[in-house]
Structure 1
Amino acid sequence: MTQPTSSVPYFARLMRQLAKDDAQIKAAFGKHVHWGYFEDPAQGHVSASDYGHAAEAMCLKLLDLAEITNGQRILDVGCGFGGTISCLNRHYSQVELIGLNINSQQLRHAAAWIEPSPNNLVHFIAADAAELPFADSSIDLALCVESVFHFDRALFFAEVSRVLRKGGSLTLSDFLLNQRAANFMEGINLGEDEAVRSAYGSIDISWTLDRYKELAASCDLSLTHTEDISPNTLPTYTFLDQCVEGWEDETEAALFKRATNLLEKATRRGFIGYQLMRFELK
């Protein structure tokens, strides 16, 4: 089962702030809710607008890896506020775009601001990533932007393999545990830390690249492309840390800062890496 998004604290907070028409939150997270891609990781201050642009850049980076073409039927699993669907809608034509999420409130937010371009179709469907409501061999390409750690990956991959057409592909982003770190930290999942659960919900960041390869092979998928872009994500942590300033609940703020700092340290020390991956159906 996919984790019910109502139990994902960061989305719940964002929804509350957007309901208050918070301009900074809207600029940073009104479209995309994922890490940013920064061409210059050494940049200093990151504004809300800067972060919104970096999140869009991350989306474009993943879409480039996916090698999308016009005329495809594309599924975005865990579509959040619809940022990836919007990006696809602007850059491609004669495409059918399906945003799938388990949380109807997020889907309503996405549908409210995305207007299909001429010759494109856009749908939003409330469903579980582990039980995709599509016929066998009916999807050309699947995307999953920074949400797979909320899913049962084995069930999700089996479903994606089922719904993809021959030659179809799945492109996703995830936080992967370095294999050497995995050997040292056997049985330890950073996602089980109290602060991480409080800030980001139930997430599993215990997976390695080798484990993904094994899962893919069991589902008739092969890992064809990978790219570790961890250095380009580092300013994300600076921005998230400054976002906490002004939170009314000091305990909530402290847990969020601790969780984000834990992930940042693990990334900077090479224990985990932000990885883009593409899998193709055999």
Structure 2
Amino acid sequence: MSKTNVQLPYFDELLEQLRKGNPDAIQAFGRHVHWGYWENPDAADGSVADFAEAAERLCRRVCDSGSVGDGMRILDCGCGFGGTIASLNERFSNVQLVGLNIDERQLERARKEVKPRAGNQIDFVQGDACELPFEDASFDVVLAVECIFHFPSRERFFKEARRVLKPGGKLAICDFVPTSFMMPFIKFMDLFVKNSVSQVYGNVNSHYTLGDYQNLAKNTGFVSQIEENITSNTLPTYPVVCRLMRESGNIEAGNITMGADWLGRLGLTHYMILSFDAK
């Protein structure tokens, strides 16, 4: 599937900032394009460098929840600029790493920036996470780091992940997960903000509760293993990202992101790491 089949306004803007050589954009998002994790959120200093380190920590926590290890074949869906692949390449040996993304522009940057260490293999493949172009039972771990809300269907992705995983393999993701009692409010608010959100972030489906994930896992051949709420550890992300958005002139993006910040602070939406074992 080509890039023209999807709308990626956030990456359109980010790629332009990277092309211009914006030093903050390069440091903040040149490797990882997702939120950060702080063991002690009060220690966050609000700097771009601190955020970049926190983004690496979040990546590692998701990978660790998938029990990644030496000698494995690992698929990272929605791989962005290859940050998770780069992290895995630096941490593990004799691994076969595959990054998949629907946007060839992101893959072009990943191929330039991420090179395999001796003994490791890296491939970046254009494709749809809901129609994985890989053989059955060909991976030990499948990852989706802060991107599943963009996929056309979580159910199709889970079915495809299960298909390409070996028996006993693992699926690990992170996502913004609304509380069940929040769902009527979110659906109501969609009537007013969905168009604005799509103009900033593209297609976003944030309607999946933890109960929905538990049922989805059960129905697609997975057993839920880790359900970790790390909302408080991610909150220092918002001031940094909002500031960078506004400094780049994207005021609307900053406002929408700040709204998501308040949903997390009020406990209405949780940022969660989830992992599942393939039966």
State whether TM-score is above 0.5: yes
| Partners of 1:171 and 1:93 in 2: CA distance | 20
How far apart, CA to CA, are the structure 2 residues paired with 1:185 and 1:223? 27
**1:198 Cα shift?**
2.1
Call closer, same or farther: CA 1:221–1:38 in 2, change over 3 Å: same
d(CA) in 2 for partners of 1:3, 1:181: 33
The runs of 5 or more residues in structure 2 that have no matched partner are none
Q: 1:47 Cα deviation (Å)?
A: 1.5
Note if contact 1:62-1:276 (Cα within 8 Å) is conserved in structure 2.
yes
Identity between Structure 1 and Structure 2 (%): 37
User: In the TM superposition, what is the alpha-carbon distance from 1:143 to its structure 2 partner?
Assistant: 0.4
TM-score by length of 2: 0.94
1:28-80 residue CA offsets vs partner (Å, 9 max, x unmatched): 11100000111221246411111111110111111221111211110000000
Q: Which residue of 2 aligns with 1:197?
A: 198
- Amino acid across the alignment from 1:160: A
State the shift of 1:272 in Å: 0.5
Alignment gaps of 5+ in structure 1: none
Aligned to 1:63: 63
Amino acid at match of 2:84: T
Structure 1 counterpart SS, 2:247: coil
* Matched ranges for 1:116-135 at <5 A: 116-135=116-135
Q: How many residues align?
A: 277
Counterpart-to-counterpart distance in 2, 1:100 and 1:145: 12
Question: Which residue pairs with 2:255 in the alignment?
Answer: 258
> What does the per-residue CA deviation read over 1:163-219, in whole Å, with 9 as the maximum and x for residues that have no partner?
11100110000000112223x437447595333222211101111011011111111
Could you tell which deviates more after superposition, 81-90 or 214-223? 214-223
Alpha-carbon distance in 2 for matches of 1:141, 1:53: 24
Q: How far, CA to CA, are the matches of 1:91 and 1:194 in structure 2?
A: 40
Tell me what 2:98 maps to: 98
Aligned-pair RMSD on alpha carbons?
2.0
Whether contact under 8 Å (1:70, 1:94) holds in the other structure is yes
Task: Provide the rounded CA distance (Å) in 1 between the counterparts of 2:197 and 2:33.
Answer: 17
Conserved? CA contact 1:18–1:25, under 8 Å = yes
**1:80-91 equivalences in 2 (<5 Å):** 80-91=80-91
Q: Deviations over 1:238-282 (max 9, x none)?
A: 10121134334xxxx231122112101111111110000001111
* Cα contact 1:189–1:206 (8 A) shared by 2: no
Structure-1 residue corresponding to 2:28: 28
TM-score, length basis structure 1: 0.93
TM-superposed CA distance for 1:89, in Å, is: 0.3
CA distance in 2, matches of 1:143, 1:178: 23
Choose 1-10 or 104-113, whichever is displaced more.
Answer: 1-10
Give the letter for the 2:216 counterpart: L
Question: Given residue 279 of structure 1, which amino acid in structure 2 is its aligned partner?
Answer: F
101-110 or 237-246, larger mean C-alpha shift:
237-246
After alignment, is 140-149 or 19-28 more displaced?
A: 19-28
SS in 2 for 1:238: helix
Moved runs in structure 1, 4+ residues, more than 6 A? 1-5
- In 1, Cα distance between equivalents of 2:186 and 2:114: 44
Distance 1:73 1:244 in 2: 36
Moved more, 37-46 or 201-210: 37-46
One-letter code aligned to 2:269: I
2: distance between equivalents of 1:223 and 1:122? 29
TM alignment of 1:74-85, pairs within 5 A: 74-85=74-85
Q: Partners in 1 of 2:90 and 2:54 — Cα distance?
A: 17
